[in-house]
Amino acid sequence: MKRALAMVALVGVAGFACGKSSSDSVVYVTVTAPVGLMPVTQLRVNLSYAGKTDTELFPSTNSTKAISFAPAATFVLDLPLTASGSIDISIDALDSLSKLVSHGENTASIVAGGRFDVAITLGAGNDFDGGVPVVDASGTAGTGGVTGKGEVGGGDLNPAGAEGGDAAGLGGSRLDAVVAGTGGVIGTASGGIGAGGTLASGGTTGSGASTSTGGMIGAGGNRSTGGAISTGGTTGPPPAVDCTDVSSDSSSMTLQYGAASISVNNNPNKSYIMQANWWGTPYSAQSEALNGIGFTITNPSNAVTSNPSLPLGYPSIYIGSYQCRNTKGSNLPKAVSALTEVPTIISTNVDQKGSASYNAAYDVWLTAGSAPLGCKDTDPGPGGTFLMVWLFMPSDKQPRGSIKVRGGTVDGVAGDWDVWYDPDNKPRPCVSYVAATKTPSLSFDLNDFIQHAIKNSLGVTSSQYLSIIFGGFEVWGGGDGVQLKQFCANVK
């Protein structure tokens, strides 16, 4: 189906077109984009019809010249007269480094020998995060067994809600999946978590890797004061953090929506919860090996999401109350105005893995009220906000919204950080801090990011409540062998 395509400017539109013969069928494709989208310098157009596929690039060579979407970008495709049926057109919007900025798609019926129009709207950035889309728990609760330290069994937790996972977000997440954005509407959750299956005990906590020590971060002037991001400066080693939770729990997680409670050896009044949370499609028998307050992902078939904008899931560990699964001793929800510090540690093996189709990230939910979220809540609710911390930027994905600062610093936190922000209440605003260089391990005070977001009007306010702290991996594809070696969060 390869065609000779030529770029031309159409009347009234900055766009592209290709030549046609009088006997061809003509497709006029109009592409619109939201205000504030990062500069797009090339469109990768994927075509599929009658069992044939093709990919074209407009323009054929990428450059630094941005494509104008005011009011729209238009290009024309010609198809053989023999073409019939429907055609699927998907567009990847790329920046000057050929990284994915946004995506859109549509399907139309072919008009043999005539003209037909296809309109495609790009998403507001790869709305990839902003919430933990939860499974629709509309199944019946399982019976039997003791809910303990181990995989939640018995309950039919297959998604069945009308919109179980359509909106992506995280903080991912529709997570928002932005439009996978935060949270997304994930169906109803009328079913309870089945009991059944006891948590396996035993095993030793993996030694993990030591947390990074920070060090000097680029020259370029002193760090700004008052929480504002500066464009350079030096930072010393990160402060020692008061978070010493360890566990000797171990088990295997083989359910799509499995969950396990994790006890803390040195604090019997505190616990964590690990959730598999493979809410996207397809689910191909991904599993997790839980070891201490950490886990390793197995993706035997290297499954890849069927929708590039939505993750397969967000396997993670958290403290707080989420989907009727409550941890002990979290000190959450807690008023942001009352926070003194939130020491936290995360250690992964991402330095030994690639950088495509997954991230390692915190997803922090801030709510407007002091009550724990309900069993059916799939985002922080009205007046709430998602705050994310990414340990690196995947080569093919990005946070929700648009970038506000590149390579800035956050007082008290080691390293340089890019700041992304999406103020849209769909479902909730999301601010994401992305490490400028890949960082496998980090120990820091989460309150430093919270206070920075407040001072810079990035959706977080002192009147909100810190409600849930998640740490884990958003996975769009692959991820086999990715490991969370250590996780700890202590709210003060």
Residues 63 and 177 in one domain: no
CATH number for 110: 2.60.40
**DSSP E strands, 63-202:** 73-79, 86-94, 100-109, 115-121, 176-178, 180-181
State whether 192 and 229 are in the same domain. yes
Is a pLDDT exceeding 90 seen at residue 367? yes
CB 85 within 8 A of CB 27: no
The larger pLDDT score, comparing residue 197 to residue 420, is at 420
DSSP string, 312-375: SB--EEEEEEETTEE-SS---SEEGGG----EEEEEE-GGGS--SSEEEEEEEEEESSSSPPPT
Average pLDDT over residues 322-337: 96
Mean pLDDT to the nearest integer, 236-242: 58
Q: Is the peptide bond before 282 cis (omega within 30 degrees of 0)?
A: yes
Are both 161 and 34 inside the same structural domain? no
Q: pLDDT tens-digit profile of 406-449?
A: 999 999 999 999 999 999 987 899 999 999 999 999 999 999 99
Residue 366 in any domain: the answer is: yes
Which two structure tokens, joined as six digits, stand for 255?
Answer: 């359910």
Work out the average pLDDT over 7-20.
31
Q: What is the mean pLDDT of the chain?
A: 76
Name the DSSP class of 82. T
pLDDT reported for residue 130: 41
pLDDT cut 90: percent of the chain above it: 47
For the full predicted model, state whether its pTM sits above 0.75.
Answer: no
Q: Are 154 and 178 in a shared domain?
A: yes
- pLDDT at residue 179 above 80? no
Tokens of 19: 């030549």
Are 259 and 358 part of one and the same domain? yes
pLDDT at 276 over 90: yes
What gap in Å lies between CA 425 and CA 433, rounded to an integer? 19
Determine the 3-state secondary structure of 258 from DSSP: coil
In a domain, 9, yes or no: no
The answer to whether the CB of 192 falls within 8 A of the CB of 141 is yes
My answer on whether 161 and 247 are in the same domain is: yes
In a domain, 329, yes or no: yes
DSSP-derived secondary structure letter, 81:
T
Lowest-pLDDT choice from 31-45, 112-126, 146-160, 359-373? 146-160
Residue 449 has phi, psi (to 5 degrees) of -70, -40
CB-based contacts of 126: which residues, under 8 Å, 6+ apart? Answer: 100, 101, 102, 103, 178, 180, 308, 309, 397, 398, 399, 400
At residue 476, does pLDDT exceed 90? Answer: yes
**Residues 413 and 458 grouped into a single domain:** yes
Whether 35 and 146 map to the same domain: the answer is no
**Mean pLDDT, residues 261-288 taken together:** 95
Q: What is the dihedral of CA 459, 461, 463, 466, to 10 degrees?
A: 80
What is the domain extent for residue 147? 125-492
Same-domain pairing of 34 and 151: no
Q: Which pLDDT tens digit goes with each residue over 302-325?
A: 899 998 888 999 999 999 999 999
User: 51: pLDDT confidence band, cut at 50, 70 and 90?
Assistant: confident
- Asked whether residue 101 falls in the same domain as residue 136, the answer is no
CA-only gyration radius of the chain, Å: 23
Q: Per-residue pLDDT for 198 more than 50? A: no
Separation between Cα atoms, residue 204 and residue 247, nearest integer Å? 8
**Who wins on pLDDT, 68 or 164?**
68
Q: Which of 366, 347, 39 is nearest to 211 (CA)?
A: 347
Q: Which residues sit opposite 418 in a β-bridge?
A: 434
Do residue 265 and residue 249 come from a single domain?
A: yes
